[in-house]
Structure 1
Amino acid sequence: MGKIVISENVSLDGVIQDPTGEEGFSRGGWFGQVGDKDREAWAKVERDEALGAEALLLGRRSYEWFAARWPSRTGEWADRLNRLPKYVVSSTLEDPDWNNSTVLKGDVVNEVSKLKQRVNGDIVVYASGQLVHTLIEHDLVNELRLMIYPFVLGAGKRLFGETSHKKPMRLVDTRTVGDGLASLTYQPIRDA
């Protein structure tokens, strides 16, 4: 059975919008404002996560962002991302061009539930804010891996939106990454 793993870069106040500054958000670009040691340590964590993944699950805009960058890259991390099966939730994307990509159309909850039955292992979700909100709302998430950046942005799209009810989580791992990043891993507490 597959395990949905949300992997996000997030500011201290929960913002996930425009970490690289390419979207034009006035407070974007915070990802690149940490030191070299932090970026190198972050890259190792992300590479290791990709090496342990069995598939990627992305929303259409995040898929297009990754697909525009990773196919031309080389190295262990790039090779893994390029080889992994990729599933894109979209009602508009017809012909994905990044290899090993499949478009999931129709009811998101139903399609992701079926995907969890087909894939054995971690199905990692990068970025994809709208998709993440849907997965959290419908209790499809098995783990949240949050890389916390030492910035309070004060505005922007947040990782967590409104939910229909409380979503209790259990902290299962914490670690410092580089000099200034914190990695927090949570798992939902399901009713027994």
Structure 2
Amino acid sequence: MRLTLTTFLTLDGVMQGPGGPDEDRSGGFESGGWVAPHFDETLGAHMSDIFARADAFLLGRHTYDIFAAWWPKQEDPEDPIAVPLNRLPKYVATTRDDELTWSGTQRLDGDLATAVAELKRRPGRELQVHGSGRLAGSLMRENLIDAYHLMIFPVVLGAGRRLFADGVPPAGLRLVDSRSSAAGVTMLTYHAAGAPTFGSMGG
């Protein structure tokens, strides 16, 4: 399976607390809920397309807790997001030893890079990471992400946890798809392209 990361970002790269004011207040963050004013049918259809390519999910613990509190209650058999989330395998990177009660969920044991590499060797289309900022950083440092689905919102917050924070390894990316919505959201898909290249603009 290809490992893909899907996340919502502000123009200044913040990924923290997109879904609501109380979703993630860690570090004193007080600007949660910046997605809702810009979420429209175009973005919804794009997200449905992404979820349709999933064969498994890999989640950080905080994102798992948010998803597990909501999606198991969504029982519409036509829901393009609830159906794959509730039916497909879910792997959680966590150091907590409490029970993971969402059906189809397994805890990742042992070394993260080794465990994820083993999942990627299994047959299938996409092993999808959604949100999960700390996990995403760890995966980037291990060069395990094959593609990025980035939804960039017309918002600048000036503070909050960023996806591409200081210390992530340099990487080249290749744009393979670009769309935009009437609400001003840019939907970009990048494939990993190895190390970045550099040059000079001078004559």
Residue correspondences, number:
187
Structure 1 residues 128 and 10, CA, compared in 2 at 3 Å: closer, same or farther? same
RMSD of aligned Cα (Å): 1.5
Structure 1 residues 81 and 32, CA, compared in 2 at 3 Å: closer, same or farther? same
Code of the aligned partner of 2:122:
R
Deviation at 1:33, TM superposition (A): 2.3
Deviation at 1:119, TM superposition (A): 4.1
Structure 1 residues 101 and 133, CA, compared in 2 at 3 Å: closer, same or farther? same
Contact 2:147/2:190 (8 A) holds in 1 = yes
Which moves more between the two structures, 49-58 or 38-47?
38-47
Say whether 1:4 aligns with 2:10. no
Q: Separation in 1 of the partners of 2:97 and 2:72? A: 18
Gaps of 5+ in 1: none
Which moves more between the two structures, 114-123 or 80-89?
114-123
Code of the aligned partner of 1:59:
G
1:33-63 deviations in Å (ceiling 9; x for gaps): 22xxx43222221122112100110011110
Q: Name whichever structure is richer in strand by fraction.
A: 1
Give the structure-1-normalised TM-score: 0.91
Contact 1:42/1:178 (8 A) holds in 2 = no
Q: Separation in 2 of the partners of 1:157 and 1:72? A: 29
In the other structure, the counterpart of 2:175 is 171
Structure 1 residues 169 and 68, CA, compared in 2 at 3 Å: closer, same or farther? same
Deviation at 1:170, TM superposition (A): 1.2
In the other structure, the counterpart of 1:50 is 51
In the other structure, the counterpart of 2:128 is 124
In the other structure, the counterpart of 2:201 is none
In the other structure, the counterpart of 1:13 is 12
% same residue: 36
Say whether 1:181 aligns with 2:182. no
- Aligned positions of 1:85-100 closer than 5 A: 85-100=89-104
In the other structure, the counterpart of 1:101 is 105
Say whether 1:62 aligns with 2:53. no
